[in-house]
Structure 1
Amino acid sequence: MYVRTSEVRGDPARLDEGLRLIREEIYPAVTAMDGCAGMSVLFDRNICRVVATTSWRSEDAMWASTETVRALRESAERALGGTGGSEVHQWEVAVAHHDHPVPDGAHARLTWMSCKPALIDRAVDLFRMVALPQIQEFDGFCGTTLMVDRGAGRIVGTAAVESRGAIESSRDAAAMIRERFSTELDATVDGVEEMEVAFAHLHVPEMV
């Protein structure tokens, strides 16, 4: 399974209109494409940052959708009042575990890291054996994924929980997991974000 993430910034005053367009127009258009398995959208209202993720049943399907998705992404940028320059990345899903569906009002923590490309398999094993069992213990845990870019040595882990309170209560535990993970891999933590879930229909199968 493969995914594409599109990271867009815009005008906070236009966030709700942008999210409406994504939900009502872009989501149906993307998920109707050959090979698309689903889509999810996370956002930070304070800075109008939106991360949209689409899942694909094969790498070929993901790449074949590039031009069509680009046009849809540009329409979302305009609706959000963005100035262009959105960041787009392609990933392989290495680990996915779901406890139950992500409800309205859920939040997610995204952790972006980079390491030596030769250590990606080690990172996957470490996440599966060490991080995953601890993440599952977070209050309100819904699910988690680990996505990798093997060529670039990039990693992004996402953990979804049921509420803002749950994301706040898990901060210390998440920081400890992150420190151990980065230390054992000699990895760089490129960023940590806590975002609200607009909707989560990514439909990535269980991969543990």
Structure 2
Amino acid sequence: MYTRTLYATGDPAKVDGAVEVLSTAGHKLLADQPGFRGLGVFVDRELGKVAVGTWWQDEQSRDASDAHLRGQRTAMLAPYVTTLATENWEAAVFTRPSRPLAAGAGFRMGRLEFEPSDGDLLVETFKNMVVPKFQAIPGFEGTSLFIDRARGRATVGVLYTDHTALAASRAAQAAVRGEAITKARFTLRSVEEFELAFMTMPEMP
């Protein structure tokens, strides 16, 4: 599958307004688009950040929806955010939660860079080494690797049952991260933590 991510920042006092519009009117707009498969909205209320992932059946559906919804999306979020960035990805590896997760579940996101020629190595390492190790961490619920092979960029998301499990996982996930960097030759650019605000689990194509 393919994905589009949004990364928005603004006044922390207004961030819940962005979450509300994304999970109601925004979700309805997305659900009406051909090829739509799922939505996740994640929030950092302390710093005023919102991360959004939308899932699409294929690259064509994702790109067509962006062209159709771009103006509406910007207008919808304008009262609540001051910056908005979008990126397109291939969902190279993902494991769905086994059950619907409640708001407040923990989410950790890492941004990576790699040589484009190492894209297959990154995907193979994540699938065969990283995912099994993540699955052994208490409270793990699901993970994904979004990748832009041409630009040598990727993002890794990991879901945990709640904030307590998210916090407790930091050392274990850091150890897996270090092992993966040695094997897959990527550079970690950032790690951020959010809580789940709204999610419809990705539907398998």
Do these two structures clear the TM 0.5 threshold for a shared fold by scoring above it? Answer: yes
Deviates further, 31-40 or 181-190:
181-190
Distance in 2 of aligned mates of 1:196 and 1:54: 17
* 1:29 aligned counterpart, secondary structure: helix
Q: Does the Cα contact within 8 Å between 1:138 and 1:166 map onto a contact in 2?
A: no
- Residues 146-174 of structure 1 show CA distances to partners (whole Å, capped at 9, x for unaligned) of 11101011111111011000000000011
The residue type paired with residue 148 of structure 1 is: I
SS at match of 2:182: helix
Whether 1:133 and 2:132 are equivalent positions in the alignment is yes
User: 1:200 & 1:39 partners in 2: Cα distance?
Assistant: 6
CA contact (8 A) 1:110 1:159 kept: yes
Q: Contact conserved, 2:9 with 2:48, CA < 8 A, in 1?
A: yes
Offset, 1:104: 2.5
Q: TM-score scaled to structure 1, two decimals? A: 0.92
The aligned counterpart of 2:32 is 32
For 1:3 and 1:145, how far apart are their aligned partners in 2?
11
Distance in 2 between the 1:96 and 1:55 partners?
11
Task: Specify the alignment match of 2:57 in structure 1.
Answer: 57
Q: Is the contact made by 2:142 and 2:158 (CA closer than 8 Å) also made in structure 1?
A: yes
Map residues 83-102 of structure 1 onto 2, 5 A cutoff.
Answer: 83-84=82-83, 86-101=84-99, 102=101
Q: Which residue of 2 aligns with 1:4?
A: 4
Alpha-carbon deviations, 1:95-154, whole Å to 9, x = none?
A: 111242222320111111010011111001101111111111122211111111010111
The answer to whether the Cα contact below 8 Å between 2:96 and 2:201 also exists between their aligned partners in 1 is no
C-alpha distance after superposition, 1:178-202 (max 9, x if no partner):
1121222321111111110011214
Query: In the alignment, which residue of structure 2 is the partner of 1:187?
Result: 186
SS of the residue 2:98 aligns to: coil
Q: For residues 36 and 99 of structure 1, do their structure 2 counterparts lie closer, same or farther at Cα, with a shift above 3 Å needed?
A: closer
Structure 2 CA distance for aligned equivalents of residues 188 and 76 of structure 1: 35
- 3-state DSSP class of the match of 1:18? helix
What is the match of residue 119 of structure 2? 120
Q: Which runs of 4+ in 1 moved over 6 A?
A: none
My pick for the range that moved more, 160-169 or 139-148, is: 139-148
Counterpart amino acid of residue 23 in structure 2: R
Offset, 1:204: 4.7
TM-score scaled by structure 2?
A: 0.94
Asked if 1 retains the 8 angstrom alpha-carbon contact of 2:10 and 2:49, the reply is yes
Aligned amino acid, residue 177 of structure 1:
V
CA distance in 2, matches of 1:79, 1:30: 20
Query: 5+ unaligned residues in a row in structure 1: which ranges?
Result: none
Identity of counterpart residues, as a percentage? Answer: 29
**Secondary structure of 2:122 counterpart:** helix
Q: Retained in 1: the 8 A contact 2:110–2:188?
A: yes
CA distance in 1, matches of 2:24, 2:77: 15
Instruction: Give the secondary-structure state (helix, strand or coil) at the position aligned to 2:78.
Output: helix
Deviations 1:8-39, CA, capped at 9 Å, x for gaps: 10111111122111111111111211111121
Instruction: Provide the aligned C-alpha RMSD in A.
Output: 1.5
Query: Unaligned 5+ residue runs, structure 2?
Result: none
Q: Look up the equivalent residue of 1:30 and give its one-letter code.
A: L
Deviations 1:78-111 (A, max 9, x none): 131x224x22110001111124222232011111
